């Protein structure tokens, strides 16, 4: 029986197998320090014995992992060498053999193409740019999906092609840019990016989502008194799902930027609004067995204003940013995808007379949450950072900052139609994202947004994620709470409170804003682990002329430890009061966390700002001392 071999396909399979080996190596490396580097909680023999036991199991796991990796590398070398020998033989007999091989491949593919429109072996064709043509699907057995074609003006991009059993999904096409408005008309919206194609059923990475198109710009006209709006940016495409067993999920596409607006030429009309930024695309889940999930796409920033206009009375308002999407979930082994970051709100136009309003700043986009880590091994994805609010023009309002994304947990996932909810075994929780700051401006009276909380660690081992900080604001921005560990691991640190905004001595805000409290530290593992430190409080804002400064926030409480071994987390420091006609009152320090019941030292209390008191030290274990008072 004659066998036909395509060297490029064999080489592609060898490269894919090498990628699997790299993923396994990363998993072993991620587990190395946590399971072989445990430090005794104390100097006693019991602590040393427990740490040595875990280290012995960890070393045995690493030895087995090294043997498996060596066997895998040997197999990959043999396959790569075979591909090279086939290629050399093919080159030596290029002219006659290539014709015969192509004829044999056409003979194999012809029935499948006739019946399904799709070959057994081969890559899908890319969609042509500017046509909105879908990417072709790869072969039923082996082949990558083609990339989706980009959209025309203002049109959506299209999806990338899917792979068959083995191959990568195609990337989604780019959304088309929105058309600029004709004289005296608003801009049109940009097209959405296409979704990434799915990876092969057995192995393959999902394709990335396409980028959303930018919104079109408005065009001013002397005959139109009111301001004109810019076009909205297109949404990013979703990432393609990874293969059933192995592969990484595709990342979500970026949201498109909003188009520019124009101001108004009369004091009785309002300026236009910049185009809203597009939402980011969702990250896809990784392979159900091994593979990292895709990252969520960042949202597009809001569109600004045309500050080159003449005769403008009321400035244009900056566009708000879109919403970022969350990262995808991993399967059994793999890391969750990071959440996308929120885009920045555009600044308002500074044009306009002293008694006429400039534009307000756009709101920053909220961030996406991190995806869940693998059920057995993998870290949760980090939450994205919230977007910053846009700065205000003269006498305008500043934009809100965006919410920070929540850090991903470990193992809390849903895979297709099968729900698998719970807690993974080994892995660190993802860090929470920081909230975006409020933009600068004379009428900055907005509340700050909340920082993301840290994700929970794995059931057997894993640290909780650190929390994000609150957004600096007119009044307050709430800090996130540190993630908790389960059996073995340290709790995550609480986020820092936001500084209060500055007062301006007007009817909207006279005194400085109060600083917000620090976030609470996450609790340590039930068996072994330290509690997370509480976040520091924000300082009070400076008062406007003749008005009081804001009060400082209270420091966050340190996290407590579990039953056997671990120290309590230190409490956060209180915030200083803001200066002004009368200075704001300083904040109290946070209490230290309690130590484990058996062995451990209590956390120290945070320092207070007089006349406020410092925090109380946490209780010590049966063997161990209490923490110091702040």
Q: Which domains are present in the chain?
A: 7-111 (1.10.287.850)
Q: What is the pLDDT of residues 215-263, one digit of tens each?
A: 888 777 665 555 667 777 888 888 888 888 888 888 888 888 877 767 6
Q: What is the pLDDT, as a whole number, of residue 170?
A: 92
Q: What is the pLDDT of residues 456-508, one digit of tens each?
A: 777 777 777 787 776 676 556 676 787 777 888 888 888 887 776 666 544 44
> In angstroms, rounded to a whole number, what is the distance separating the alpha carbons of residues 410 and 372?
5
> In angstroms, rounded to a whole number, what is the distance separating the alpha carbons of residues 289 and 223?
64
> In angstroms, rounded to a whole number, what is the distance separating the alpha carbons of residues 280 and 268?
37
Task: State yes or no: pLDDT of 444 exceeds 60.
Answer: no
The 10 Å CB-count burial string (b at 16+, else e) for 9-35 is: bbbbbbebbbbbbebbeebbebbeebb
Tell which residue, 383, 381, 373, has the closest CA to residue 324: 383
Q: Are the beta carbons of 247 and 284 closer than 8 angstroms?
A: no
Residues 6+ apart with CB under 8 A from 269: 225, 226, 227, 313, 314
94-116 and 45-92 are packed helices; what angle lies between their axes, rounded to 10 degrees? 110
Q: What is the pLDDT, as a whole number, of residue 581?
A: 63
> In angstroms, rounded to a whole number, what is the distance separating the alpha carbons of residues 184 and 319?
19
> In angstroms, rounded to a whole number, what is the distance separating the alpha carbons of residues 443 and 441?
5
Mean pLDDT of 265-272: 58
The 10 Å CB-count burial string (b at 16+, else e) for 99-116 is: eebeeebeebbeebeeee
Q: Are the beta carbons of 252 and 283 closer than 8 angstroms?
A: yes
Q: What is the pLDDT of residues 161-217, one digit of tens each?
A: 888 888 899 999 988 888 887 777 777 888 888 999 988 888 888 999 988 888 888
- The DSSP call for residue 227 is -
Q: Are the beta carbons of 335 and 375 closer than 8 angstroms?
A: no
Task: Share the mean pLDDT of the chain.
Answer: 74
Q: What is the pLDDT, as a whole number, of residue 147?
A: 92
Joined tokens for residue 492: 């995550």
Region for residue 19 given its phi and psi (left: phi exceeds 0; alpha: psi -120 to 50; beta: otherwise): alpha
Of the pLDDT bands very low, low, confident and very high (cuts 50, 70, 90), residue 35 is low
By DSSP bridging, strand 413-415 and strand 418-420 are: antiparallel
Q: What does pTM read for this prediction?
A: 0.71
Of the pLDDT bands very low, low, confident and very high (cuts 50, 70, 90), residue 449 is low
Residues 6+ apart with CB under 8 A from 298: 254, 255, 280, 324, 340, 341, 342, 343, 384
Q: Are the beta carbons of 170 and 251 closer than 8 angstroms?
A: no
- Transcribe 482-510 into DSSP letters: PPPP-SBSPPPPPPPPPPPPPP-SSSS--
Tell which residue, 187, 379, 366, 392, has the closest CA to residue 293: 379
Is the Cα dihedral 52, 58, 64, 66 positive or negative? negative
- The most confident of the ranges 178-187, 311-320, 542-551 is 178-187
Measured torsion, CA atoms of residues 72, 74, 77, 82, in degrees rounded to the nearest 10? -100
Residues 6+ apart with CB under 8 A from 85: none
Provide the CB-side half-sphere exposure for 562 (13 A, CA).
18
Q: Are the beta carbons of 259 and 288 closer than 8 angstroms?
A: no
Mean pLDDT of 270-292: 75
Count how many residues are written for the chain.
Answer: 630
Of the pLDDT bands very low, low, confident and very high (cuts 50, 70, 90), residue 86 is low
> In angstroms, rounded to a whole number, what is the distance separating the alpha carbons of residues 331 and 325?
19
> In angstroms, rounded to a whole number, what is the distance separating the alpha carbons of residues 412 and 405?
16
């Amino acid at each position: 029986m004659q066998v036909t071999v395509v060297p490029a396909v064999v080489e592609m399979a060898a490269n894919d197998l090498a990628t699997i080996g790299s993923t396994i190596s990363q998993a072993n490396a991620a587990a190395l320090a946590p399971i072989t580097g445990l430090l005794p909680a104390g100097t006693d023999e019991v602590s040393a014995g427990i740490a040595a036991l875990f280290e012995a199991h960890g070393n045995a796991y690493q030895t087995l992992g090294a043997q498996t990796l060596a066997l895998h590398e040997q197999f990959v070398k043999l396959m790569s060498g075979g591909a090279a020998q086939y290629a050399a033989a093919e080159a030596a007999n290029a002219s006659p053999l290539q014709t015969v091989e192509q004829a044999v491949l056409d003979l194999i593919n012809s029935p499948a193409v006739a019946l399904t429109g799709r070959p057994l072996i081969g890559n899908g064709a890319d969609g042509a740019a500017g046509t909105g043509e879908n990417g072709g699907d790869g072969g039923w057995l082996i082949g990558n999906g083609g990339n989706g074609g980009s959209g025309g003006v203002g049109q959506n991009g299209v999806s990338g092609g899917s792979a068959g059993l083995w191959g990568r999904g195609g990337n989604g096409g780019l959304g088309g840019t929105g058309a600029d408005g004709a004289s005296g008309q608003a801009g049109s919206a940009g097209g959405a990016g296409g979704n990434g194609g799915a990876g092969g059923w057995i192995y393959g990475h999902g394709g990335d989502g396409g980028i959303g198109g930018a919104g079109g710009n408005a065009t001013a006209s002397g005959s139109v008194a009111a301001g004109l709006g810019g076009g909205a940016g297109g949404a990013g495409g979703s990432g393609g799902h990874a293969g059933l067993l192995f592969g990484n999920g595709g990342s979500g596409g970026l949201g498109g930027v909003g188009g520019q607006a124009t101001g108004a030429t009369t004091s009785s009309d309002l300026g236009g609004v910049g185009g809203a930024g597009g939402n980011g695309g969702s990250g896809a889940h990784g392979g159900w067995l091994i593979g990292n999930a895709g990252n969520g796409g960042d949202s597009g920033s809001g569109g600004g204003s045309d500050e080159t206009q003449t005769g403008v009375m009321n400035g244009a308002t900056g566009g708000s940013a879109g919403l970022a999407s969350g990262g995808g979930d991993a399967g059994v082994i793999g890391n969750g995808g990071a959440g996308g970051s929120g885009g920045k709100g555009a600044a308002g136009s500074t044009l306009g007379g002293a008694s006429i309003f400039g534009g307000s700043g756009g709101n920053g986009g909220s961030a996406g949450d991190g995806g869940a880590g693998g059920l057995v091994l993998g870290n949760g994805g980090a939450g994205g950072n919230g977007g910053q609010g846009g700065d205000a023009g003269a006498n305008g309002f500043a934009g809100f900052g965006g919410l920070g994304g929540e850090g991903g947990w470990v193992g809390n996932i849903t895979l297709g139609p099968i729900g698998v909810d719970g807690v993974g075994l080994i892995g660190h929780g993802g860090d929470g994202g920081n909230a975006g700051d409020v933009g600068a401006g004379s009428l900055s009276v907005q509340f700050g947004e909340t920082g993301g909380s840290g994700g929970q660690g794995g059931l057997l081992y894993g640290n909780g994620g650190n929390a994000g900080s609150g957004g600096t604001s007119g009044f307050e921005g709430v800090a996130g709470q540190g993630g908790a560990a389960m059996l073995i691991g340290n709790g995550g640190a609480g986020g820092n409170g936001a500084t209060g905004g500055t007062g301006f001595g007007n009817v909207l805000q006279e005194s400085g804003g109060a600083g917000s409290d620090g976030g609470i530290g996450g609790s340590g593992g039930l068996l072994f682990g330290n509690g997370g430190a509480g976040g520091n409080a924000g300082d009070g804002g400076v008062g406007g002329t003749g008005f009081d400064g804001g009060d400082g926030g209270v420091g966050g409480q340190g996290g407590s430890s579990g039953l056997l071994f671990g120290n309590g987390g230190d409490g956060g420091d209180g915030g200083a009061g803001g200066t002004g006609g009368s200075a704001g009152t300083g904040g109290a320090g946070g209490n230290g966390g309690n130590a484990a019941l058996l062995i451990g030292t209590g956390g120290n209390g945070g320092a207070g700002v007089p006349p406020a008191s410092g925090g109380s030290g946490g209780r010590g274990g049966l063997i161990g001392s209490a923490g110091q008072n702040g």
